[in-house]
Amino acid sequence: MTDKGLTSAPLSPPGDPARAARRDLKVYLPWITTPALCLLLVAAWWAYIDVSGISAFILPTPESVWHAWIGLLQSKRAWIDTVMTIYATLLGFLWAMAAGVGLGVLIARVRWLEQTLNPFIVASQVLPKVALVPLFVVWFGFGVTSKVLIAATLAFFPILTNTVLGVKSIDRRHGDVMVSLNATRWQVFRKLELPSSLPYIISGMEVGIVLALIGAIVGEYVGGDLGLGHLLVARMNAFETDGLFAVMIHMTILGSLFYFAISLLRRALIPWHESAPRGTRNV
Amino acid sequence: MVMASAGPLQDEIASGAAPSQSLSAKGFSAEGLPVIRLDRVEKWYVTRDGPVHALAATDLVIAQHEFVVLLGPSGCGKTTLLRMIGGLIAPSQGRLQVMQRDLWKGQTRQSNAVSDLGMVFQDANLFPWLTIEENVALPLELKRTPKKQRLSRARALTDLVGISGFETRWPYELSGGMQQRAAIARALSHDPGILLMDEPFGALDAMTRDTMNIELQYIWMKTRKTIVLVTHSITEAVFLADRIVLLSPRPGRIDTVVDVPFERPRSLDVQMTERFQTIARDLRHRLAENA
């Protein structure tokens, strides 16, 4: 039945109910497969604990992780940690945006500036940025400043390189249009350069926001007594492996929310671009 | 559909024609008013292998309402010539005037002379982040025309070029021919007296190209713009032009100027007539001699 349906698919008319059903299935498939796979994963996890008799310190049961996470959600202290991490991530990200987009536009436009700065950019990109964490703690203390800085440092480079790429990818023929229309420098920036490089900048932001979160968490590992990174280390030191898992889940949800926010931005700002979902493009 | 747009467009054309009346009072007849004048205009390009003579000293006068086609093989300087008139590249030598105003002072473009020019390129070059009507209205937006006014103007123009109903679409949703129609509408939106077209239909298939030639003739008759069009298609040149300026390469220079006498509106059938064939054949021979 399905075999026949598949081979005759190109011939069936648009109104064909079987074809419509298959299209619906394609749309809803992730809504079925994702929970199913999650359940399967949890079942395998449970089965492994059952069969191997592994210690709860090494691998806690899904049930105890679930309870630990609920406990986390009910703990006021954990929410303070969450807010601190969000704060460091967002502030660092905003600094990275300002510096990355600003410097990126300059570098892409001013040839000698690019040539002068390029060796330093490459060198600092090659340097593992998390190596700076201890230094930042020495310089800026155990407060939130060092976390913001490390988040900004990590998020800066993908935003910078994508901005440079975006500004350099502007179609010269579009530039001709603006010249022939007698556009001012500001109009060229506002009407051509900015919208044209926006898809690139948003791609940089997508990478940048996740890196900013990583930066903030790594910063919290090393210094201070606040933030989800600190909470994670505290759980490890207390040998609360289920709590460790709970904080990891918490961080994953946070990261997903950040990423989702940037995707929303993509839909809102560049509905005309290939990367935007189909539904929003055919307005 | 097209008639509906005639009102506002005709009005604006009438107001756009006002300066020409005052100029004709100074002794030009309306027909012969020179809107583009080239005096020994010359172009050298500096390349790694030394200077290249792209266009030898050229004189050319184009009158108001004229449809002039610059025809020639690649490398004959026809696009260079058009881009100099359009204010995109500076001439190395000579004097270039648009509507009696110098377009270039040295390497600096005089912006007041550019406003009388509308340019259409080989590719539609629509901005993908603007809808069709926003693209068409872009020149007006740059001139800070109020939004309501520029959108109504955009609608009248999409009507004129035959793409009404697509105003709120993105450029990628339109075919190549329709995108080029939108590009023509954009070039007309600030109501310039002169339309410069650089191989506007070169990227289109032959059938669409025929349609676009007929449409362009219609737009030209309706708006009475001066059109300078670059092409390497002899048929297109003879079909569209009042006057064909034939260029030859190395260095680019004007070879001959041919008047095309057919009455307007011309239908595609005119291409079958003997006179058409004769003009086309003469041009082809001339091109072959210079190649």
pLDDT digits (tens, 9 = 90+) for A227-238: 999 999 998 888
How does pLDDT run across B133-167, given as a tens digit for each residue? Answer: 999 999 999 888 899 999 999 999 998 888 888 98
CATH assignment of the domain containing B100: 3.40.50.300
Q: Are strands B243-248 and B253-259 parallel, antiparallel or unpaired?
A: antiparallel
Q: Which residue has the higher pLDDT, B11 or A159?
A: A159
With a CB cutoff of 8 Å and minimum separation 6, the contacts of B133 are B151, B154, B155, B158, B167, B168
| Structural domain includes residue B39 | no
Residues of chain A that touch chain B, judged by Cβ-Cβ distance less than 8 Å: 171, 173-174, 176-177, 179-183, 187, 191-192, 195-196, 198, 270, 272-273, 281-283
Please compute, for residue B59, the number of CA atoms within 13 A of its CA located in the half-sphere on the CB side. Answer: 1
Residue B219 lies in a domain: yes
Give B275 to chain A, closest Cα distance, Å: 37
Using CB atoms, which residue from A173, A183, A283 is nearest to B125?
Answer: A173
C-alpha dist (Å) from residue B116 to B85, B101, B277? 11, 10, 35
Structural domains for chain A = 2-52 (no CATH), 62-281 (1.10.3720.10)
pTM value > 0.80: no
How far is residue A227 from each of residues A116, A130, A247, B238, measured CA to CA in Å?
39, 17, 11, 76
Q: Is residue B29 part of a domain?
A: no
Mean pLDDT for the stretch of residues B52-65: 88
Q: Point out the residue among A187, A270, A282 whose CB comes nearest to the CB of B142.
A: A187
As for how many domains chain B has, the answer is 1
Q: Would residue B32 count as lying in a domain?
A: no
Whether B168 sits inside 8 A of A281 (CB atoms) is no
Question: Which residue is listed with tokens 């492996």?
Answer: A241
Residue B26 lies in a domain: no
> Is the Cβ of B170 closer than 8 Å to some Cβ of chain A?
yes
Tell me if B230 is assigned to some domain. Answer: yes
Q: Does the structure show a pLDDT above 90 at A29? A: no
Q: Which of A183, A195, A272 sits opposite B142 (nearest CB)?
A: A183
Domain carrying residue B182 = 2-13+50-290
Tokens 């809107």 belong to B35
Residue B42 lies in a domain: no
- On whether residue B34 sits in a domain, the answer given is no
Mutate to test the interface with B, among A180, A198, A282 (most CBs of B within 10 A): A180
For chain A, the first-to-last Cα distance in angstroms comes to: 37
pLDDT digits (tens, 9 = 90+) for A50-89: 899 888 888 898 999 999 999 989 989 989 999 999 999 9
